[in-house]
Structure 1
Amino acid sequence: MAERQTVIRSLHDIGLAAWFGGSLFGAVGLNGASAAVSDPTDRTHVATAGWARWAPVNAAALAVHAIGGIGLIAGNKGRVVGQSGTRGNTVLKSAVTLAAMGVTAWSGLEGARLGKDSKAPANSGVDPSPETPAEQASAMKRLKVLQWTIPALTGVLLVMTAQQGEQQKASQVLKGLLPGRS
């Protein structure tokens, strides 16, 4: 049973690490580097091509994280229900996870819109130039915000995951399960 929980926790953590790391690299590295492409009509193409290559890995990371998270909740349901503070953390973490998944999906849709017309001139993959067509410029402006929202939300998930790890320590479990000891 303990080995199974270790595998489940590993899936959860590896998925979250890839999701966080990939989104942060994309915002800083990929979108940032697209500004260095010499031809302004290739900048959006380079960024959207990179994101398109990352999309299947990111989808797998989200799926692995979700499977691991559901497995952890199922494996710890007694503690989640009975230990003070654990239920609230679990509910909040689930809500943040769903929000991060929604923002990730929205970002993917915006990126796909850009990919259709990826020869639009731009300052970078998320910075329109005055020559960028209005529809693409609007998508870029939304992506500029979304690119930072995903690592912010997944960063919160990393902190909450660490907090949940602390809640699993024997001293914390005992403290949270005994009446008047929370």
Structure 2
Amino acid sequence: MGAVGLNRAAELEGGSNKATARISSTGWAKWAPVGAAAVAAHLVSGAGLLNANKERVAQQRSVAASSAAKIAFTASALAATAYTRVLGKKVDLATSDNPEDRETADKVPGDLAKAQRQLTLMQWVVPSLTAGIVVLTALQGEQQRPSQQSQDLLRRVARFRTRA
């Protein structure tokens, strides 16, 4: 919504590059607390699910790998989100009408144009990583099917019998 809706609306309404950046930045800043709450909910629920399924993660074939991949995607999405927020704050301060904000923006490394270019990229990186998390969540749902669990149990029994 942000990349396609908010940013495009800011372009149509802003008129100048500064006004467009200001409108978009204000919208993203208003979204930040909602995004933070969503991240917190994801982390708490994910930790709970991982704890509840720790035996299955350890024993069922490929569940550990999909769990590790999901953790990596989540960590990457969190890092990308934090970086995006830093860039957004730079744009917010640099486009402010308040001279003190602009002074603060000047103290932050990097220039406004570079921050805007990086934000253009990051607005697609974050949802792409989130899509990866959704795909891995669907995979893990399939791995919970009784047929998948029973196949894994049969493999373990067969391995145990050949060792004995």
TM-score category, normalised to shorter length: 0.7 to 0.9
What does residue range 59-138 of structure 1 map to in structure 2 within 5 Å?
59-119=36-96, 135-138=111-114
Determine helix, strand or coil for the equivalent of 2:95.
Answer: coil
Deviations 1:60-111 (A, max 9, x none): 0000001111000000000000000100000011011100110010000000
Q: Which residue of 1 aligns with 2:144?
A: 168
Greater helix percent: which structure? 2
* Contact 1:85 1:176 (C-alpha < 8 Å) held by counterparts: no
Q: Number of matched residues?
A: 144
Closer/same/farther in 2, CA of residues 176 and 32 from structure 1, 3 Å limit:
farther
Query: Does the CA contact (< 8 Å) of 1:34 and 1:44 recur in 2?
Result: yes
Larger displacement relative to structure 2 (99-108 or 27-36) = 27-36
CA, structure 1 residues 75+33, in 2 after alignment: closer, same or farther (shift >3 Å)? same
Measured in 2, the distance between the counterparts of 1:54 and 1:113 equals: 16
Classify 1:145/1:38 alpha carbon distance in 2 versus 1 (closer, same or farther; 3 Å).
closer
* Kept in 1: contact 2:22–2:92 (CA 8 A): yes
* Separation of aligned partners in 2, 1:152 and 1:83: 28
Distance 1:170 1:137, change over 3 A: same
Supply the distance in 2 between the matched residues of 1:95 and 1:177 (Cα, whole angstroms): 27
Aligned-partner Cα distance in 2 for 1:75–1:179: 23
Who wins on radius of gyration, i.e. which is larger? 2
Alignment of 1:39-58 (within 5 A): 39-40=15-16, 41-58=18-35
Structure 1 regions of 5+ residues with no counterpart?
Answer: 1-24, 121-133
> For the Cα contact (< 8 Å) 1:84–1:177, is it kept in 2?
no
CA–CA separation in structure 1 for the residues paired with 2:32 and 2:129: 18
Structure 2, unpaired ranges of 5+: 98-109, 159-164
Report what 1:127 is aligned to.
none
* Greater RCO (Cα-Cα under 8 Å, separation 6 or more): 1
Amino acid at match of 2:125: T
Q: What secondary structure does 1:179 align onto? A: helix
Identity of aligned residues (%): 38
1:33 equivalent to 2:22? Answer no
- 8 Å contact 2:14–2:23 — kept in the other structure? no
What RMSD in Å do the two structures reach over aligned CA positions? 1.6
TM-score by length of 1: 0.75
